[in-house]
Structure 1
Amino acid sequence: MDDIKSANAAQLASPSYRLAAFDQDFLLGDSMRGVRFLLEYAKAEESLRNWGVRSTIVVFGSARVRENGPGRQAFWYEQARLFGRIASSRGGALTDNGGVRDNVIATGGGPGLMEAANRGAHDVGAPSIGFNITLPHEQEPNPYSTPELTFRFHYFAMRKMHLAMRANALVVFPGGFGTLDELFELLTLRQTGKAPPLPIILFDEEYWKSIINFDALIESGMVSPRDCDLLKFANSAEDAWSELTREGLLAHTP
């Protein structure tokens, strides 16, 4: 018996003999990129369905803002947290009897203003989602997203898909490149009709109009006035919620 084992030792040790599902070198190879896309889609999808998450309100904003930060940072953080509370209490994230959940707060899962929105949902005992991304400088999840709804993605594209596919609304707090990326991703989907109608709210009108000259886009013919009508502004958490309801967002108070 020992002679047989030693005779086929090379075969047993060969990577080709590993079960495909347990062969990490194979799974992480170029040919399996499509499968990895599928896995990233399916893993999050299964958890979201198990929690009955039918729709979300996506909240984005800078990861650099701190609760007691300088300038307007403290106000932005406070209002993002308050918005998380309001939307979770009035939107349908709190349900009875394991029913579906609507307008669940979903963020990029990181610190700063994303943390604040997740924290607001946590304040009222509502679930919230954190769609984290693997970065060269590792981002850790904030401590307020629901653990079972805290995900990590390798592919930005799949993360963006999950952010968009259940979104009933997008509320964008001040931020930098990453925040702008998410804003224009969903804005383009709305402009081109690739996403169903959903309100897009920019928080702190002064900030947004100081970094993006929307009028210049219209004047130069790059967008139409109707395109810019897709954007609404709010300067407080209550204003943001009121604007969402005016734009057709349905509240589902338990």
Structure 2
Amino acid sequence: MTDTPPPNDAQIKSPSYRIAALDQDFLLGDSMRGVRFLLEYAKAEQALRAWSVNSTIVVFGSARVHENGPGRHAYWYEQARAFARLASERGGALKPHGNIRDNVIATGGGPGIMEAANRGAAEAGAPSIGFNITLPHEQEPNAYSTPDLTFRFHYFAMRKMHLAMRANALVVFPGGFGTLDELFEILTLRQTQKAPLVPTVLFDRGYWESVINFDAMQAAGTISPQDRELFGFADDAEEAWATLLEHGLAVATATRPSDDLS
């Protein structure tokens, strides 16, 4: 008489039996943090390549600024929108130099200045990128970034890498802690020569000189006179574009900046 084998329900239901790529508990475990980091890089990289994005102009600024906000807020929003439109029209995001896109507007993907910049690019008929981040108080993407180029990251480090690796230039509108963090990330990469030339403009000189005393830093010897040359100032969209050009912004097709951040 042949013995009937016991049921194998326990084996089939065991987490170890799941296909690894479909096992969310496994993928979200501590041992797979490096894999998740790689996935966040690869997913955005694949989409950016599919859209022929060669380089970007990154626009930072406060998420708390509104189109009809108080004081200078409305002006900052209007000028971020205007800058992104003219940069998209003049910089190569519409592919005037061949089959790749240069100087595509890239933002953190959220509201405020980010929304204004994505909106300006959309009004120019150009694609733009939104590098969103998962936050405790959920940030939703604004309605103007190109859907196929609207990403969401878990890791700030990978988000920062994608913001930096294709950046041809940086325009920083008034903002808070997050804006300062991103600004000094790029300035430090340039100061230490860990990144290629990234022309940087601080928008609204009065704001920036009131919140950061660059003169005091230089006088104390914590930065050099050469460090002050890593950025310029502008007070309207046209001046921001002109300042970027003066600081070396390339508007023709060039080798991918990301090749220098391997």
Name the TM-score, length of structure 2 as normaliser. Answer: 0.93
SS in 2 for 1:145: coil
Q: CA deviation at 1:198?
A: 1.3
Instruction: Please give the per-residue CA displacement for 1:27-61, whole angstroms capped at 9, x wherever unaligned.
Output: 00000000000000000000000000000000000
The one-letter amino acid of 1:232's match is G
Which stretches in structure 2 are left out of the alignment for 5+ residues? Answer: 254-262
- Work out whether 1:82 is the aligned partner of 2:82: yes
Are the equivalent residues in 1 in contact too, given 2:172–2:183 (CA < 8 A)?
yes
The CA distance in 2 between the partners of 1:80 and 1:238, in whole Å, is 11
- Change over 3 Å in CA distance of 1:4–1:215 after alignment to 2: farther
Q: CA deviation at 1:250?
A: 2.5
Instruction: Please give the per-residue CA displacement for 1:108-149, whole angstroms capped at 9, x wherever unaligned.
Output: 000000100000000011000000000000000000000000
- Work out whether 1:235 is the aligned partner of 2:235: yes
- Change over 3 Å in CA distance of 1:97–1:204 after alignment to 2: closer
Stretches of 4+ aligned residues off by more than 6 angstroms: 3-6
Which stretches in structure 1 are left out of the alignment for 5+ residues? Answer: none
Are the equivalent residues in 1 in contact too, given 2:168–2:250 (CA < 8 A)?
no
- Work out whether 1:169 is the aligned partner of 2:169: yes
SS in 1 for 2:189: helix
Are the equivalent residues in 1 in contact too, given 2:97–2:252 (CA < 8 A)?
no
- Work out whether 1:158 is the aligned partner of 2:158: yes
**Is 93-102 or 229-238 further displaced after alignment?**
93-102
The CA distance in 2 between the partners of 1:213 and 1:248, in whole Å, is 25
Who is 1:19 aligned against? 19
Who is 2:260 aligned against? none
Who is 1:215 aligned against? 215
Q: CA deviation at 1:251?
A: 2.5
Name the TM-score, length of structure 1 as normaliser. Answer: 0.96
SS in 2 for 1:83: helix
Who is 1:52 aligned against? 52
The CA distance in 1 between the partners of 2:136 and 2:249, in whole Å, is 37
- Change over 3 Å in CA distance of 1:97–1:50 after alignment to 2: farther
Q: CA deviation at 1:228?
A: 1.4
SS in 2 for 1:95: coil
Are the equivalent residues in 1 in contact too, given 2:174–2:207 (CA < 8 A)?
yes
Sequence identity (%) = 75
Are the equivalent residues in 2 in contact too, given 1:52–1:98 (CA < 8 A)?
no
- Work out whether 1:61 is the aligned partner of 2:56: no
The CA distance in 1 between the partners of 2:194 and 2:252, in whole Å, is 26
The one-letter amino acid of 1:118's match is N
- Change over 3 Å in CA distance of 1:4–1:180 after alignment to 2: farther
Are the equivalent residues in 2 in contact too, given 1:174–1:208 (CA < 8 A)?
yes
Who is 1:107 aligned against? 107
**What is the Cα-based RMSD across aligned positions, in Å?**
1.6
The CA distance in 2 between the partners of 1:117 and 1:231, in whole Å, is 20
The one-letter amino acid of 2:170's match is L
The one-letter amino acid of 2:22's match is F
Who is 2:139 aligned against? 139
- Change over 3 Å in CA distance of 1:224–1:96 after alignment to 2: closer
SS in 2 for 1:229: helix
The one-letter amino acid of 1:166's match is R
- Change over 3 Å in CA distance of 1:23–1:218 after alignment to 2: same
Are the equivalent residues in 1 in contact too, given 2:54–2:101 (CA < 8 A)?
yes
Count of residues in correspondence between the two structures:
251
Q: CA deviation at 1:99?
A: 1.1
SS in 1 for 2:101: coil
